[in-house]
Structure 1
Amino acid sequence: MEIRDKELRHARPKWPEVRCIQCNRLLFRGIVEDMEIKCSRCGTIQHIGECKQEEKMNVCNR
């Protein structure tokens, strides 16, 4: 049983890593369409994905 558990742990899919542009801390692994995330280490806010502009609110401040 122990060998089987180790094999399953290594069989996880490799998700792309997203890291902070300032301090290189790993923020998350995965794929997202649109996201804003704040680094807990340095406080940098990153916009990930495409920018969309809605009627009264600018979603992406690039």
Structure 2
Amino acid sequence: MEIKDKDLRYAKPKWPEVRCGQCNRLLFRGIVEDMEIKCSRCGTIQCIGGCKQETRMNVCSR
């Protein structure tokens, strides 16, 4: 069986989804080592990866 170039466009890897803990909005797909991200819907700041405990305690929402 031969793989054609146009078939490779649709062969995207299945990245894990990261969603907001408050409103469940999809924030991104992928793997990160350490990241802080703000949800554009509810404004919650989330720490993903190996963040310090101090940062996790400072999660705030609008």
TM-score, length of structure 1 as denominator length: 0.71
Deviation at residue 52 of structure 1 after TM alignment: 4.1
- CA pair 22-31 structure 1, distance change in 2 beyond 3 A: same
Q: After TM superposition, where is structure 1 displaced by more than 3 Å over at least 4 residues in a row?
A: none
Match of 1:23 in 2: 23
- Identical-pair percentage: 76
Q: Structure 1, unaligned stretches of length 5 or more? A: none
Q: Deviations over 1:4-49 (max 9, x none)?
A: 53x2233011100000001111000000011000000000100000
Aligned pair count?
54
CA root-mean-square deviation: 1.9
TM-score, length of structure 2 as denominator length: 0.71
Q: Structure 2, unaligned stretches of length 5 or more? A: 58-62
Matches within 5 A, 1:1-62: 4-5=5-6, 7-52=7-52, 60-62=55-57
